[in-house]
Structure 1
């Protein structure tokens, strides 16, 4: 089959489905493809934190402010795709008090609301919090259910005319006269598309997809482990208030908590080591905040790969930096109808999608503006419907497999 489409979006994670939704709501003809089911990559293999911006406040104020804005937007539009928890940054006895104070001051500068409490007060909310916690800071973190979020974006895109093709890997592209003219799909879909514009939203695989179009995207993917253990009744996300390191976050679910994470460079985002030391170190470090998790039953373990952009990582110096996004217009390399969106984080997917859709609409001469910040996602008030969307798009990732369908 040989099909025309105005825009081909490659990649079925949060950013790709967000782009498809944004463009479809603007009346653009869109096809979205993914090589597997939706959420099969980074989005569905994360720890699922809805950032308040506090994690990045002292190193990147503008990005932290963007996280805070998107946090508030998702709470308005995403309903049961979000879990309304809070976040608690905790300082242990060996942690630098100056770091805590710098984060608190930076949050104030950004506009992130905080409340500082002593360790005893924090333990009134989290009774099994370590005795070594000297003080803590409340922030408006939350939890994302990524499988639902991605599927809801895809469902809304489909409702507005987009075609969603899962299990449809891109096998080749043809570039003629400085434009991508055809894209061939394999897998369960035997189809050749003739797009007017191509968006590469494939996360850590962006470099490979860019190669097919004869352009370059330099990626530095890193892997991180998540360990879900049995634990009841944790309300807030727990963050260790120190320079980012292994095992510094605990994300609450119902009857489980997710412990994370590590950061190890990988050469191939599909083929990398899954090391036992990462699991043990993550559990040990998280237990410094919440001791019972050290001996809790381990329910699930998975790794995710971060889609980090090499030039940005090299400029900033590695782990602990902000995770901003980068929109690359490949017209600068001689391919006029192609762009790549890389970096970023789950919390800011909608903002990433808006920036990408703005560029695409400018290239296509579409004057409609973004409405995704105000349009509530379908099924937002109906968890069962959201879970049906997940089923339809084969969109169940490991991050939230204990929450979806319950």
Structure 2
């Protein structure tokens, strides 16, 4: 095997996982002058990122149940609109309440949105019908929110390309097969058959974080859940359409501007293995039926594709939860960054220099990456601030360039193939 090290560039960081968070970490570290290599076992965007429904959340979905998470979403929503260019689409979003829905819930969500700074506005149902032709006659209330659409393949490819321009090495189809730990710290890793001399390993493997951590002798218990997305053929749906009720199956419809494809989602079913799980027709049918409550025509629209994704949900023990809560107060080794994602420092597990980032959502990937990069730079003694919220992605306004990067990094995904032309 070939041995590679950081050479004259100083300490080497290996980031494992080519989804939005992984490439975000690689870009952030490269911008701070850290030598970094990113490794993905498949093409980029192959996991949850490329199999999501691709909503750029305003935070409205979570406002009444998770104030902190909603604040995080609305902040990152605004940042991505500024820096991600053609990787996002400013569609806006509607929350609609049907006659059978809890009217008090709609009011709680509207008030909660306003309380956390989300620009939410109740609009006449007639106006909502203008924006969403075919909206159900059962819709009684509607609220406009600043949701949008993320094209995951473009976002990941553009971020990886920017990271590479700044010195990061991007390795696709290069599985991690070993993490070497000696004397209680990371000393190397094996990626794609090559032994790397690395000082830090960042586990950003999503639903596969548990198996990645096991290579370092560390336990990161994950509780993945599967969800199905259904692409239907329909033109004229302008905004993202959300059902104003507690999150449930089939409560969101995501249009792609310039395409006649609308992605309906989703379900949430626990699975044991993120690589091997049942994909049932009944889930597809349930999503279509529930989404048709908002737009009845969805039930008759041609189904053009279906795809499943697996959410990287963290399932810690009570002891781990306590450790995370402790470090959030400043005195532990596992840090609970927010209710939405968690950064674990495995020094307390006998693997100093090994970090796991778990949970979160596509909208907040940049903030997750910043949290990781802050911790890694702290360990390495690198004094450099995060700049990812201010500096646009290098190819952000060049769709042809971004789509070439999608092809180069094998980042095409079912979430947005109709936009990028790559699956």
TM over 0.5: yes
Q: 1:405 to 1:149 in 2, by over 3 A?
A: same
Residue 268 of structure 1 corresponds to 273
Q: 1:65 aligns with which of 59, 71, 74?
A: 71
How far the C-alpha of 1:175 sits from its partner, in A, is: 1.4
**SS of 2:122's equivalent?**
strand
Residue 355 of structure 2 corresponds to 339
2: CA distance between counterparts of 1:375 and 1:15? 17
Say whether residues 1:117 and 2:132 are aligned partners. no
Is the contact made by 2:252 and 2:291 (CA closer than 8 Å) also made in structure 1?
yes
Residue 326 of structure 2 corresponds to none
**SS of 1:71's equivalent?**
helix
Q: 2:231 aligns with which of 225, 228, 233?
A: 228
Is the contact made by 1:326 and 1:341 (CA closer than 8 Å) also made in structure 2?
yes
How far the C-alpha of 1:206 sits from its partner, in A, is: 0.4
Is the contact made by 2:64 and 2:108 (CA closer than 8 Å) also made in structure 1?
yes
Say whether residues 1:27 and 2:15 are aligned partners. no
Q: 1:403 to 1:312 in 2, by over 3 A?
A: farther
Deviations 1:20-41 (A, max 9, x none): 0000000000000000000000
Residue 324 of structure 1 corresponds to 340
Is the contact made by 1:384 and 1:405 (CA closer than 8 Å) also made in structure 2?
no
How far the C-alpha of 1:179 sits from its partner, in A, is: 1.4
**SS of 1:250's equivalent?**
strand
2: CA distance between counterparts of 1:404 and 1:161? 26
Say whether residues 1:391 and 2:407 are aligned partners. yes
**SS of 2:412's equivalent?**
coil
Deviations 1:266-321 (A, max 9, x none): 00000000011100000000001011111111111000000001139998xxxxxx
1: CA distance between counterparts of 2:138 and 2:392? 43
**SS of 1:172's equivalent?**
strand
Moved more, 304-313 or 248-257: 304-313
1: CA distance between counterparts of 2:400 and 2:339? 33
Residue 239 of structure 1 corresponds to 242
2: CA distance between counterparts of 1:92 and 1:117? 14
- Pairs aligned (count): 397
Deviations 1:170-229 (A, max 9, x none): 11222111112221123xxx3111111100000000011011101111111000000000
**SS of 1:65's equivalent?**
helix
How far the C-alpha of 1:387 sits from its partner, in A, is: 0.1
2: CA distance between counterparts of 1:97 and 1:151? 42
Residue 374 of structure 2 corresponds to 358
Residue 367 of structure 1 corresponds to 383
Q: 1:84 to 1:215 in 2, by over 3 A?
A: same
Is the contact made by 1:147 and 1:397 (CA closer than 8 Å) also made in structure 2?
yes
Q: 1:94 to 1:136 in 2, by over 3 A?
A: same
Q: 2:302 aligns with which of 276, 297, 302?
A: 297
1: CA distance between counterparts of 2:152 and 2:20? 8
TM-score (norm: length of structure 2): 0.92
Deviations 1:133-171 (A, max 9, x none): 001000000000010000111001100111000000011
Instruction: Provide the aligned C-alpha RMSD in A.
Output: 1.5
Say whether residues 1:154 and 2:160 are aligned partners. yes
Residue 319 of structure 1 corresponds to none
Gaps of 5+ in 1: 316-321
Matches within 5 A, 1:109-188: 109-186=115-192
Deviations 1:12-70 (A, max 9, x none): 00000000000000000000000000000000000000000000101111110110010
1: CA distance between counterparts of 2:412 and 2:200? 29
2: CA distance between counterparts of 1:129 and 1:311? 42
Residue 210 of structure 1 corresponds to 213
2: CA distance between counterparts of 1:174 and 1:122? 57
1: CA distance between counterparts of 2:103 and 2:274? 37
Deviations 1:236-295 (A, max 9, x none): 000000011100000001201000000000000000000111000000000010111111
How far the C-alpha of 1:323 sits from its partner, in A, is: 6.4
2: CA distance between counterparts of 1:337 and 1:220? 24
2: CA distance between counterparts of 1:305 and 1:76? 29
Is the contact made by 1:323 and 1:345 (CA closer than 8 Å) also made in structure 2?
no
1: CA distance between counterparts of 2:135 and 2:72? 30
Gaps of 5+ in 2: 7-11, 322-337
How far the C-alpha of 1:124 sits from its partner, in A, is: 2.1
**SS of 2:419's equivalent?**
coil
Residue 4 of structure 2 corresponds to 3
Q: 2:198 aligns with which of 195, 203, 209?
A: 195
**SS of 2:418's equivalent?**
coil
